[in-house]
Amino acid sequence: MMNKTVLSILLTTSVVGIAEAQTKLVEKVTRKGDELAIPYSKYKLPNGLTLIIHEDHSDPVVHVDVTYHVGSAREEIGKSGFAHFFEHMMFQGSDNVADEEHFKIVSESGGTLNGTTNRDRTNYFQTLPNNQLETALWLEADRMGFLLDAVTQEKFEVQRETVKNERGQRVDNQPYGLSGEMVGKTLYPYGHPYSWSVIGYIEDLNRVNVNDLKNFFLRWYGPNNATLTVGGDVKPEEVVKLVEKYFGSIPAGPAVEDMKPQVAKLDKDRYVSYEDNIRFPMLRMTFPAPESGHKDEPALDVLAEILGQGKSSILYKNFVKEQKAIQASAFNSSSELAGEFTFTVMAYPNTSLEQTEQMLRASIAEFEKRGVTDEDLQRFKAQAESNLVNRMASVSGKVSQLAYYETFRNNPNYLQEEIKRIQSITKEDVQRVYNQYIKGKPSVILSVVPKGKAELIAKADNYTVTQDGYKPGPDEYSGLKYTKAVDTFDRSKRPGSGENPVVAVPDYYTGKFKNGLKMIGTYTNEIPTVTLQLSLKGGHRLAANDPSKAGLASLTAEMLNEDTQNYTSEEFSNELDKLGSSIRISAGSNETYVTVQALKKNLDKTLVLLEERLFRPKFAQDDFERLKKQRLEGIANQATQPTAIANNVYGKLLYGEGNVMAIPTSGTVETVSNITLEDVKKFYNDYYSPTVAQLVVVGDITEKELTGKLNFLKKWKKKNVQIPADVKAPSIEKTRIYLVDKPDAAQSEIRIGYMALPFDATGDYYKLGLMNYNLGGAFNSRINLNLREDKGYTYGARSGFSGSKYAGPFTASAGVRADATAESVTEFMKEITGFHKNGITAEELQFMKNSIGQADARQYETPFQKAGFLGRILEYELNKDYVKKQTDILNSITKQEIDALATKHLPVNNMHIVVVGDKKSVLPKLQALNYEIVELDTDGNPIASSSVK
C-alpha cells in the first residue's frame, strides 16, 4: 500500500469548461491552496492554433514556446533529418526578419532562445524581460506564416553544412555516438518512423534540395499543428489580443492526424556490433516497450530504477561495486509511438562482452528473487514528487510542461493524471511488467568495441536490415501551396518594447559562525524546496603543496560520497531517495562543493544525512581501490577524446611546467597512482575546515527557521588552512600553432588564447566581458557568425574570459570540420585581430548595451540562479549594490574604452593556438599559415617543430 506521506498531494484543481466558440476560451485551470498544479487558460484560434497562457508575476520575465507536433517520425525514407534541419532554417530569417536577425533581436532584448527537435516534436522558445512579449510573438508568427520566401539556396547550403558539423560533433566524432542509430535501425523494421536518427544520415542531407525542405514545412508547420504557450509576468487578456493580431490571420495548414503507436516486435535476439575509437567496450541490450502515456510506463520506470539506477540498484551492486564495469544502468525511455527498455554496461578494457552479457542476464534474473519492496516504491514516488516540484522552479519549466502535455496528451492539466499514475503503482504492477516485457523476451544486443578488438563482441552479428514487408506511406506533399496571411496592419514594423522592467535583486541575510564559517541566504516560497551550497576554498589548487599527488582533491570528494560510519553508500543513497533529496560532493579547480537539495518538509532528515556524510566518512579501503581504478581508467580514456586532449594540452601550455593548475583536476596516471588512502584521510583532516567555508541557503525557509537546524555546522572544529598563492603564468614569446595528431578525426578541436585576468565585479574583468560580447560571447558575435553561419565550418564557435579569484584565460574555441581546420584558424585570428586593431562598431556597442542591460530580468529566477548570485557576494566580498555599479558601467562605457581594452587585452601576437586533429590532412594547410608549428603528443609533450613554408 502506498505511503501517503510521500506524495501527499491532494488535487482539487477546478477546470471550467466554456462552450462559446466565439470566446475562444476552452478551459481555465486554477490552483487551490498548496496543491501541485500549473494554473492556465487554454484557447483555440479559428485557424486551429492552440494557445495556453500561464500567469506568474514572481519575476519580470516571460517565456514563449511554440511546439510543432512534428519530429523525425514524420519524415520519409531517404529524407531523414528534415525536422532537425528545419529547426536550423527557422532561425535564418523570414519576410520581415532579416537573416540572423532572430537571434540578434532576442539577444538585444535581453533574452535567450533556442530550439530542439526529437522524434515527435520540434519546439522553439525564448525567455525575455516582460516588456518584450510582443516582440517574441511577432518573431514566432513571422516564421510560422512568412518563412518560405526567405529560404534561399544559399542559406540552405550553409545550414546543411552546419547540420553536418553538428552530426560530426555529436555523433560521428563522439565516443559511442553511433550507438543510438545502430539500435534504432536494428530494433524497428525498415521504414518505421523511429528506425533512423533525429539528426538524419549524411547521404540524405546531401541528396535533398531546398524544395524538398519547403514542402516539409508546408505539410507540417501550420498553426493547426502547433501549440503556443506563453507564461510569466503577463495579463492573459493582453496575450490573447496580441496572439490574435500576429497569428490569427495565418492560414491553417493541411489536416494532421495523430500517429498510432507502433511498438517494436522481435522474434529473436538481434546481435549487432561496430568498432569505435574508444577505450571501454560497451554492451547495450534494448527490449521493446510500450509508448509514452501507456498504463505500464510508470511501473517500467520503477523496474528500471530497481535494476539499474543509483547505488541501490542490482546492476550497481553486481557491476560497479564488484569492479566488473565502469558504469552499468537501466532506463525506460518512452516516445509517442513506442518505448525502449535499455540496459547499458561499459566494461573495463579488454573485457569480453560475451561475459558481460552473461553477467547482465544473471543480474536481470536476480530481480525475480529480490522482488519489489515497499522501500522501492517509496523511493520512486518521493523522487517523482521532488522532480515534479523542481520543474516548477522557472517559468520556462512550467511552460515546457504545459506545452508537452497539450501536444501529447491533449490536456495541459495532465500533471494531475501523472501524479495519480505515480501514486497508484503497486509491487504487483512492477512484477507484471517485468514478466510481460523483459523476462525471456528477445532484445537487440549491441556491442561497441575498440578499433581492432572485434574479438570482444558479445556474439557474431546475426541481423541485417532488409526491406521485407516495407510499404511506402501515402504521398503527403503533392499539391501543397504557400498561402500567406492577409493583414490589416504593417507586419514589417517591429513592435516597440515599452519600459524595461524593474528588477529586484534578492534580499538576503548574512552571518558568520564563531568557527569562521560564513553564511548568506534568501527566502523564497515559489516552490517548497530548499537548496544549500557549501563551498570550501582550495580544491585542486591545494595540490600545489604536493604536485606529485594532483587529483587528490577530487578523489577525496568522491570518497565522501561513499560509505559513512553508519551507512554503506547504498544505504545512504536509499535514505536520500526516500526523501526525494540529493547530497553531492565534488571538487573543482579552486573549491570543493557540497550541494544539497530537499523538499522543505524533508529538510530536517536531509540535514541529518548531510552531517553524516560531511563529518563521519568511513574512508573504506575497498571504496578507495575501486574509485582509484575508475579514475585511472577515466584518465586513460581521455586520450581517445579530442575535446579532452585539447583542453588538457591548452591548460598545460597556459600554466606551464611545474604549476599544479597545468594538471587536470582529475590528475594524471602518474599522480593518481601515487595517491594512497592515507593521503585522502590527511587531505580531509587538513583542509576541510569552516575557516575556508561558506554556506549559501536559498528556499522556502526563513533565517529564523534555519538557525537552529545548523548546530552541527557550528560545532565544526576550525583548522588553520593556508591556500597556496597563485603562480604567475609563463609569458608567451609569440603566437605559435601546437598540433596534436588525432588520426582520422572527423573534426578538429581548436583552442586559442592566453592567461588574462582574475575576476573583478566592477573592474577591467567585468568590462572585458562587455568587450568580448560582440567578439565571441553572443550567438550573433563576429566569431560565431563567421565560422558557423557564413562559412559552415562548425556547429558553434565562441570566446570568453574565465577568471576566478585567480587569473584565468581568454579562450576562443570550436570543434570544426577537419577539411576546414586551417581556414578556421585563419578566420578566428582574423576576427580577433580585427577587434584588436579596430575595436567595436557603434551598432555593436548599442547591441551589447541593450542585450546585457535588459538581461538582468532573467538573473534571479531559479534557486540555483539566486544561489550563484549570493555565492559571488560572499566569495568576492561584494556589496549588494555591485549590480547597480555594473549597470552604471554598462550604460556609460564608450567605444573608446572598449577599443582600448581590445588593444590591450587581445594580444594577437602572443597567444597559444592548439589544434587537435588528423595530422596527415590538416598539417599541409596549417604549414601555409604564417606561424611556427610545434607538434605535441596527447600529453602536451613536444615531438617536433617544423618551419613555416
pLDDT (average), residues 456-463: 97
**What pLDDT score was predicted for residue 430?**
98
Q: Is residue 23 part of a domain?
A: no
**What is the total count of domains within the chain?**
4
Same domain for 588 and 637, yes or no, is yes
Scanning 248-335, the segments in alpha helix (DSSP H) are: 297-308, 314-315
Per residue in 579-636, pLDDT (tens digit) is 999 999 999 999 999 999 999 999 999 999 999 999 999 999 999 999 999 999 999 9
Last residue of a domain, one of 419, 436, 456: 456
Q: Is residue 746 part of a domain?
A: yes
Residue 12 has pLDDT above 60, yes or no: no
Residue 518 and residue 508 in contact, taking contact as beta carbons nearer than 8 Å: no
Same domain for 438 and 571, yes or no, is no
**What pLDDT score was predicted for residue 667?**
96
Residue 799 and residue 812 in contact, taking contact as beta carbons nearer than 8 Å: yes
Residue 17 has pLDDT above 50, yes or no: no
Same domain for 706 and 744, yes or no, is no
Residue partners of 944: CB distance under 8 A and separation at least 6:
934, 935
Same domain for 237 and 281, yes or no, is no
**What pLDDT score was predicted for residue 18?**
36
* Whole-angstrom distance, CA of residue 351 vs CA of residue 348: 6
Same domain for 45 and 88, yes or no, is yes
Same domain for 800 and 681, yes or no, is no
Q: Is residue 33 part of a domain?
A: no
Same domain for 335 and 376, yes or no, is yes
Residue 319 and residue 325 in contact, taking contact as beta carbons nearer than 8 Å: yes
Cell (9 digits) for 921: 590532412
Per residue in 775-804, pLDDT (tens digit) is 999 999 999 999 998 998 999 999 999 999
* Whole-angstrom distance, CA of residue 632 vs CA of residue 637: 9
**What pLDDT score was predicted for residue 222?**
96
Residue 303 and residue 287 in contact, taking contact as beta carbons nearer than 8 Å: no
Per residue in 254-276, pLDDT (tens digit) is 999 999 999 999 999 999 999 99
Same domain for 573 and 424, yes or no, is no
Q: Is residue 482 part of a domain?
A: no
Same domain for 553 and 588, yes or no, is yes
Per residue in 283-333, pLDDT (tens digit) is 999 999 999 999 999 999 999 999 999 999 999 999 999 999 999 999 999
- Among 382-386, 392-396, 495-499, 616-620, the range with the most confident prediction by mean pLDDT is 616-620
Same domain for 680 and 764, yes or no, is no
Q: Is residue 930 part of a domain?
A: yes
Q: Model's pTM, two decimal places?
A: 0.90
pLDDT tier at 99, thresholds 50, 70, 90: confident
* Whole-angstrom distance, CA of residue 200 vs CA of residue 191: 13
pLDDT tier at 857, thresholds 50, 70, 90: confident
Residue partners of 630: CB distance under 8 A and separation at least 6:
326
Q: Is residue 30 part of a domain?
A: no
Provide the residue range defining the domain that includes 370: 270-396+405-456
pLDDT (average), residues 409-418: 94
Residue 11 has pLDDT above 70, yes or no: no
Using CB atoms within 10 A of its CB, is residue 394 exposed (0-12), middle (13-18) or buried (19+)? buried
Residue 341 has pLDDT above 60, yes or no: yes
Same domain for 93 and 223, yes or no, is yes
pLDDT (average), residues 400-421: 95
Q: What is the mean pLDDT of the chain?
A: 93
Q: Is residue 729 part of a domain?
A: no
Residue 447 has pLDDT above 60, yes or no: yes
Is 171 or 503 the better-scoring residue by pLDDT? 171
pLDDT tier at 5, thresholds 50, 70, 90: very low
Residue 551 and residue 667 in contact, taking contact as beta carbons nearer than 8 Å: yes
Same domain for 595 and 562, yes or no, is yes
pLDDT tier at 4, thresholds 50, 70, 90: very low
Q: List C-alpha distances in Å: 286 to 63, 289, 352, 432, 444.
A: 37, 9, 19, 18, 5
Task: Please give, one letter per residue, the 3-state secondary structure of 717-747.
Answer: CCCCCCCCCCCCCCCCCCCEEEEEECCCCCE
Question: Where residue 576 sits, what CATH number does that domain have?
Answer: 3.30.830.10
Q: Is residue 21 part of a domain?
A: no
Residue 354 has pLDDT above 90, yes or no: yes
